[in-house]
Structure 1
Amino acid sequence: MPPSRDQSTHDEVTTAFRVYLQAMLDGDTDALDDLLADGCALTHVTGYVQPKDEWLSQMRAGQFLYHRIEERHVTVEVEGPK
């Protein structure tokens, strides 16, 4: 039996999230640029809301280096018509 729409969507979102995390670890700013919408912003643990372009620029300059990312729990909620 094929997976349900909700399960397929969950799997697609989870896979995309893991690709995003790997791109962060790899410092692959081109992949991150493609994965993230142009108007998105990231909120740091300090509360600073940083535009995507600024974040990617700082990554390219070596100001953000990710050495390890630990995925603890991912929750995906599927909304909308079935």
Structure 2
Amino acid sequence: MTDPTEAIRRQQVVEINSDPTGREALECKHGKVWNTSELQEDFEVVGFLAPYVIARRKSDGQQGSLMFQGSPRFYFSFQPE
């Protein structure tokens, strides 16, 4: 089975990680940003396909996706389904 999103996701991984951004810059661009421990407090991760994770927000059960960068590891841009 082929993944029709693989080429796009691979390019996004390269773009995100070619110039890793600090937390403040990510917050200016995307709003709320989480490090790994903060993400675990607010979400249950149910799957991932880099540079995305699928997660369920603990406060209300809303499922959606977040993007992430590799290093420093930050999650951002929560998009509810």
State the TM-score, normalizing by the size of structure 2.
Answer: 0.28
Higher relative CO (Cα under 8 Å, sequence separation at least 6) belongs to: 1
More helix by share: 1
More strand by share: 2
State the TM-score, normalizing by the size of structure 1.
Answer: 0.28
Which has the greater radius of gyration?
A: 1
